[in-house]
Amino acid sequence: MYIEQFIDYLKNEKKMAANSLDAYGRDIREFNSFLSERGTGGLLEATSTDVVAYLNKLKAAGRSPSTVNRKMASIRTFYNYLLDEKFISDNPARGIKTPRIGKKEVEFLTIKEIDKLLESPDDSLKGRRDRAILEVLYATGIKVSELIDANIEDVNFRMGFITCYGESSKTRIIPMGRPARAALEDYVYEVRDQLVGDNKDEKALFVNYYGKRLTRQGLWKVLREYGEKSGIKHKLTPNTLRNSFAVHMLQNGADLKSLQELMGHEDIMATQVYLAATKNHIKEVYDKAHPRAK
C-alpha cells in the first residue's frame, strides 16, 4: 500500500517519467523483500540497522557503487515521503554513508568517428530511418527515452527544432542542424508511412517494422549494428552520442549555460563533467602542435 502511494506521489506531484517510477518502485520492493527475509518487520518498522545490513548485502553481492547509491537514494526518498506524511517519526536511512564513486571518464566519439557512423546506414527503408535516428541523436544530444517518446507533432521542420519532454515534464526546444533536418524529413515524408502501414493512428516519430513505436531495446540494437559496421572500437550507446554532442559543442565554443539548457540538466555541475574532456583535447592539440611541448 505504502509503495503504491509513494509511486503515485512521485507521478502526480513530482511529475517523474515512467522509467524513473519503475526504478523507484523496483528499489523499494527489493528492500521490502530483504526486510521480509530478515524477519525484523515491514517497511514502517525498518531501523538504521536494517538499512546498513541491506547496504552491506548489496556490496557483498558485488553491486557497483553507482547502483548501490541509486538504491539507497530511493530508500531515503521513500522514507522522507513517509516522514512527511507522518507514517513514521524518523528516517532510518538518514546519515548512512554510501560508497564513493570514482570520477568516470566521459566516453565520446571523435568527429571523424561521428562522420563514419553517420555515413554507415544504406538507402533501404530501414537504413534511411536509422540515418535519421543517428543524425537526431547527435544533432540534439537528447536522451534515449526522449527519442523513443517523441511524436510526429514534436518536430517543427519549418523552424528546425524538436520538442523534448524530460524529467518532471520539463519541456526543451532543441534546434537541429541542416543534415539532421534533411535526414528526418526524408524519413518522415518518404519512409515512415511505409513502415507504419495500416497502423495510421500511430503518433510515434520513430517506428519499427511492425509500425509501432520503437522500443529502447530496438534503439540499442540499431546503435550496436552501426557501431560495429563503422568500426568503432568501444561499445556505442545512446549516451556516447549524447556525450559526443556535448563535448563537440564545448570544443567549438558553446558556453556552459547554453549547453546545460540544451542537455536538460537541472544542476550545472552535471554539465561541467564535459569540461574535463575538452581540456584533455586541448592538451592533445598543444602536445601535437607546439614545437617545445615535449
pLDDT band per the 50, 70, 90 thresholds, residue 168: low
pLDDT at 29: 94
Q: What is the mean pLDDT of the chain?
A: 87
d(CA 50, CA 82) in angstroms, rounded, equals: 17
pLDDT band per the 50, 70, 90 thresholds, residue 6: very high
The 10 Å Cβ neighbour count of residue 216 is 13
With contact defined as beta carbons under 8 Å apart, do 173 and 165 qualify?
no
d(CA 138, CA 122) in angstroms, rounded, equals: 18
Q: What DSSP state is assigned to residue 125?
A: H
Top-confidence residue, 134 or 233: 134
pLDDT at 286: 44
With contact defined as beta carbons under 8 Å apart, do 245 and 134 qualify?
no
Rama region for 32: left / alpha / beta (φ>0; ψ in -120 to 50; rest): alpha
pLDDT band per the 50, 70, 90 thresholds, residue 192: very high
Report which residue type is found at 231.
Answer: G
With contact defined as beta carbons under 8 Å apart, do 142 and 166 qualify?
no
* Whether the predicted pLDDT of 239 surpasses 50: yes
Burial 127-163 (b: 16+ CB within 10 A, else e): ebbbbbbbbbbbbbbbbbbbbbbbeeebbeeeebbbe
With contact defined as beta carbons under 8 Å apart, do 94 and 83 qualify?
no
pLDDT at 96: 84
Q: What is the CA radius of gyration of the chain?
A: 23
Q: What DSSP state is assigned to residue 202?
A: -
Indicate which residues carry an active-site annotation: 242, 286
pLDDT at 101: 59
Three-state DSSP at 65 gives: helix
* Whether the predicted pLDDT of 161 surpasses 60: yes
pLDDT at 65: 82
Start-end of CATH 1.10.150.130 domains in the chain: 2-84
Give the relative orientation of helices 238-251 and 111-119 as an angle to the nearest 10 degrees: 130
242-261 pLDDT, tens digit each: 999 999 998 888 888 888 88
* Whether the predicted pLDDT of 281 surpasses 70: no
pLDDT at 269: 72
The arithmetic mean of pLDDT across residues 209-225, rounded, is 93
As beta bridge partners, residue 128 has none
Read off the C-alpha cell for 211.
509500425
Q: Does 111-288 carry CATH code 3.10.310.30?
A: no
Q: In what order do the strands lie in the sheet with 155-156?
A: 155-156, 161-165, 171-175
Q: What angle do CA 245, 104, 166 make, to 5 degrees?
A: 45
Query: Given 1.10.10.10, 1.10.150.130, 3.60.21.10, 1.10.3210.50, which CATH number is that of 2-84?
Result: 1.10.150.130
Read off the C-alpha cell for 222.
540499431
As beta bridge partners, residue 156 has 161
Label residue 2 exposed, middle or buried (CB < 10 Å: 0-12, 13-18, 19+). Answer: middle
The arithmetic mean of pLDDT across residues 78-93, rounded, is 91
17-62 pLDDT, tens digit each: 888 899 899 999 999 999 999 888 889 999 999 999 999 899 888 8
The arithmetic mean of pLDDT across residues 83-106, rounded, is 80
Start-end of CATH 1.10.443.10 domains in the chain: 111-288
